[in-house]
Amino acid sequence: MSEIGQKIKTVFGQAAVYKNPNNNEVFIGRNLPSFVKDYLLATHIDLDGSLRREALVEFLDKHIPVNHNAIRARLMQGEVLTLLTRFEVSTNLAGNKTQFQIPEMGIKNNDTLIPQHIVDEYSNDLIDGEKWGIIKLVYIPPMDNSRGYVEMAKFKPFRPLEKLDLDSFREGRKHFSVDEWIDVLLSAMEYTPEAFANKTQKLEFLARLLPFIEPRLNFIELAPKGTGKSYVFGNLSKFVWLIGGGKVSRAKLFYDKSRKTPGIMLHHDLVALDEIQSISFTDNMEMRSILKNYLEYGKTNVDNYEFMSECGLILLGNIPLSEDGFPLSDKYLDELPEAFKESALIDRFQGFIEGWLLPRVTTDMALRDWTLNVEFFSEVLHQLRTAPEYSNIVNQLVSVPNGSDMRHVKAVRRTATAYLKLLFPHITKKEDLDIDEFYTYCLKPAIHRRDIIRQQCANIDRESSFAKPMPAFTLRY
C-alpha cells in the first residue's frame, strides 16, 4: 500500500476500495463496467483488502451468469431469475405499456412487460433509456390468444449510494495537496500515478474528466491507439454513454420521429463518439445542422419537437504521429468524418485534448492500492455538475477585454470552471482560493485547450476571424 493509498483509506473510509488487478480474474466472462465491479468488490472485501472470493463467485453465478444464451430457456422452464444487469426501457405508446430489452441475453422489447405498478413506483428510474438494476424476471406462458412474455416482477435501481454527502467529499479534499490530489484522481480512474512520466502527462490524462463534471462541455480528443480512451469513457460512469463506431442517427442521439421518443443524449451527462474516423451519419447535413444548434444552445428542433439537454459530447479518434511522437500535420482534424469538417461546427467545441502527450497503457499502469470507489467517484462528478458555486467564482475572477469573441469567452470560463470543480472542489468562495493556483491549474489550461480549437478552425477557414489570437484574459485580484 502506498502512502497516498493509505491516506485515501483513512480520509474517505467506506468510500474507498482496494484495487488488485488479480481480483479482476473473478469477473472473466462477464463484461462489467468498473462502477459495477467496484460495488461487488466493496461488498466482498474485508478491511485488510482481502477478497472473499468464494462468496463473490457465488453471487456472480446466481445474479450475473456467464451463459447469457441459457437465460431464455431457463425462464421458459419456469425458473424465476434475479439478475444484476444492464437493460433498456422503452415506452410503447401504441400498446399503452412499458417494455424492456436485454440485448446480451436475447430478450427483446416485444417479448417483455414492466407492470404498471412497478412503473408507477419507480417513475423516476424507469424512464426510456439504458438502466442498471436488480430485476426479478418470470416467464408468463401464452394463454388463449395471447403471446407468452417475460415480466419484470420486481425492480431495484442499481444505486449503491442512496445519498452522497458532497460536503464530506469536499472536506476530504482539504487533507491533500494539489499534487497529492492529482494522484488521487488518477487512482480513482484506476491508474497508478507513478506510471506517468511527469505532471504534464498526468494533467492531460485528467482532462478527460472535464466533460464528466461540467454540463454540456464539448471536447475533442485525438490520440494514438492504446492510450485508454475507450476504457475511461466506457467504464467510469453510468452517466456516460460510449458509441464505438458505425452508423449514428439523429433518432439515436436526439429524437426518434417514428417512435416519438427522445434519444440517448436526454438521459446522460456525456456521450462519447469513439473511433470517430469510422462513424458515419445517416444524414450528414441534417446531423450537422442539429449538432450546431444543440452544441451552441443545449437545444435543437426535430420537426415540431424541441429537444433540450445538458449532455456533453466528446469526439474520440486516433491520429498518426511522427517518430518523435507528435502529429504529422498541424491539421489535426483531417481524419474526422466529413460532417465535422466545418469551422462553424468545430467552433462549438470548447476544448481539445492532446492525446499524443499520453503514455500507451501497459499492465504496469493497473492500480494495486486503495482508491476511491468508482461508483462513489462517478456520483461525485455527476453531482458537481450542477453545483453553482464554482462558475460564480470564475465569473468573479476572470476578466476579458471589450469586443472579445463570445464563444472563446464562454469556452474558457466553462472549462476553467470544470478544472476548479475537479482539482479544487473544496473551494466554494473566491476568498479561499489561491489565485496563482487557479491561474496555473484552471485558467491557463482552459485558454490553451480552446486556442487549439481556434487554430484548427483557422486551418479549415483561413479567411476568417479565427486567425485572430485568443482574447487577453486577466484576473481580478
Q: What is the pLDDT of residues 237-280, one digit of tens each?
A: 889 999 987 888 898 899 888 877 888 898 899 999 999 988 88
**C-alpha gyration radius of the chain:** 23
| Average pLDDT in the chain | 90
Instruction: Give the other-Cβ count within 10 Å of 188's Cβ.
Output: 26
Which domains does the chain show, CATH number per domain?
68-157 (2.40.50), 198-362 (3.40.50)
According to the model, what pLDDT value does residue 64 have?
86
Q: Distance (Å, rounded) from C-alpha 246 to C-alpha 235? A: 20
Distance, in Å, from the CA atom of 367 to the CA atom of 193, rounded to the nearest integer, reads 8
Q: What is the pLDDT of residue 117?
A: 94
CA distance 272 to 284: 18
- pLDDT confidence of 36, banded at 50, 70, 90? confident
Residue 258's Cα: distance from chain center in Å?
Answer: 28
Cα(29)–Cα(184) distance, rounded to whole angstroms?
30
C-alpha cell at 377: 467517484
How many other CB atoms are found less than 10 A from the CB of residue 110? 11
Element (H, E) at 168: helix 166-173
Confidence tier at 123 by pLDDT (50, 70, 90): confident
Task: Tell me how far apart the terminal alpha carbons of the chain are, to the nearest angstrom.
Answer: 41
pLDDT of residue 370: 92
pLDDT score of 62 = 86
**pLDDT value, residue 1:** 77
Q: How confident is the model at residue 432 (pLDDT cuts 50, 70, 90)?
A: very high
Compute the average pLDDT of residues 448-465: 91
User: Could you say which DSSP state residue 361 is in?
Assistant: P
Q: What is the pLDDT of residues 134-180, one digit of tens each?
A: 899 999 998 877 889 999 999 988 776 657 789 999 999 999 999 99
- What CA–CA distance (Å, rounded) separates 162 from 326? 45
Which amino acid appears at position 162 of this protein? E
Q: Please name the helix (run of DSSP H) or strand (run of DSSP E) that holds residue 270, with its range, or none.
A: strand 270-281
Helix (H, G, I), strand (E, B) or coil at 65: coil
Report the alpha-carbon angle 402-405-408, nearest 5.
Answer: 120
Say which residue, 475 or 43, is predicted with more confidence.
Answer: 475
* Strand ranges in 35-158 using DSSP code E only, listed in sequence order: 81-92, 97-101, 112-113, 129-140, 149-157
> What is the distance between the alpha carbons of residues 435 and 476, in angstroms, rounded to a whole number?
9
What is the enclosing helix (H) or strand (E) of 315? Answer: strand 312-318
User: Residue 181 class from Cβ within 10 Å (0-12 exposed, 13-18 middle, 19+ buried)?
Assistant: buried
- Strand intervals (E) in 27-144: 81-92, 97-101, 112-113, 129-140
> pTM of the entire structure?
0.85
Name the strand (E) or helix (H) holding 448. helix 444-460
